[in-house]
Amino acid sequence: MKFNTIQIKDKKLILLDQTVLPEKVVYNSYSDYRDVIPAIQRLEVRGAPAIGISAAYALCLAVEVEVKTTVEGLKKIMQDVAGIIKNARPTAVNLAWAVDRVLEKTDMYTGDSLDEYRQIFWDEADAIFTEDKAMCDSMGKYGAELLKDGMTVLTHCNAGALATGGIGTALAVFYKAKEMGKSIKVFADETRPLLQGARLTTWELMQEDIDVTLITDNMAGYSMALGKIDAVITGADRITKNGDVANKIGTYSVAVLAKEHGIPFYVAAPESTYDKILESGNDIIVEERAPEEVTEGFGNRTAPDGVKVFSPAFDITPHELVTAYITDTGVRPGGRQA
């Protein structure tokens, strides 16, 4: 890739600021976990896998704070810090998964060296980062096998290298298809209200010379009716035990349209996005965003003062609308029969 979403240098977390793309390419450096939390909340870093990786490194930054205590005392402190980090954004499962994984590993330490204990945090966060890169490659390869040369695929929001530690989930499919010599065209929904599709997906695909066409969200159905779309691939922020999918608001609408037009609807997500506890989408807590993101997006007021706003960041796509799930271990059938 021609850019790095997440970097680690000298025990500092460096994030590509996605709030200013595509106009500016800015990297922000963090050495305090308390600054990483608002960076996650304001979507400087976003996408379930990338949030998880950033959260793991936020723990690393936190454990480096000099404290006069024992290893056992620091373990208790880190439990409290973990709870704060996990509450940064509630819907994407990877955030809590990554934090819990690091704590499970570090809690196994029985020695009395603070330096050794701290190093385990960094080692585990590095492992999560490295594994995510490998999972992205695997998803890309499995997904690319589903696409035929010359197909045009619609995607919603951004599920690429900007959202992961590697080459992406949904967008990884396009990158691997290109490596295979397949000519694939992409239609990208703009993704209201924060325009992740317009600002991020088109920018990212253009960096990698992928043929991409931008459409507004309400053009998806008509584009399908005109025969311009052969398949849909999106990412996911959480997949429940029954296969229901939480993803960026607007995904559900696209899935309904895809079924109506007989177009396959694929969800690309790593194993870490699967929730092993929640039974269905009805159990997912859907984050609601500030009304200003709708009424005055990017600083320009587009609605009257005082208007009521409903602004969920995600929606739930029932498993019955999913043709198949593209994972890092293979392609799994969804609940949609046709």
Give catalytic residues, as residue numbers.
237
Report yes or no: 324 and 243 within 8 Å, Cβ to Cβ.
no
Q: Which of 297, 268, 106 is nearest to 191 (CA)?
A: 297
What DSSP state is assigned to residue 169?
A: S
Report yes or no: 281 and 316 within 8 Å, Cβ to Cβ.
yes
195-224: buried (b, 16+ CB within 10 Å) or exposed (e) per residue? bbbbbbbbbbbeebebebebbebeebbebb
Would you mind telling me the total number of residues written for the chain in this entry? 338
Taking the CA atoms of 45, 124, 66 and 88 in sequence, report the sign of the dihedral they define: positive
Helix axes 48-63, 93-107, angle to 10 degrees: 40
Q: Which of 89, 43, 80, 41 is nearest to 59 (CA)?
A: 80
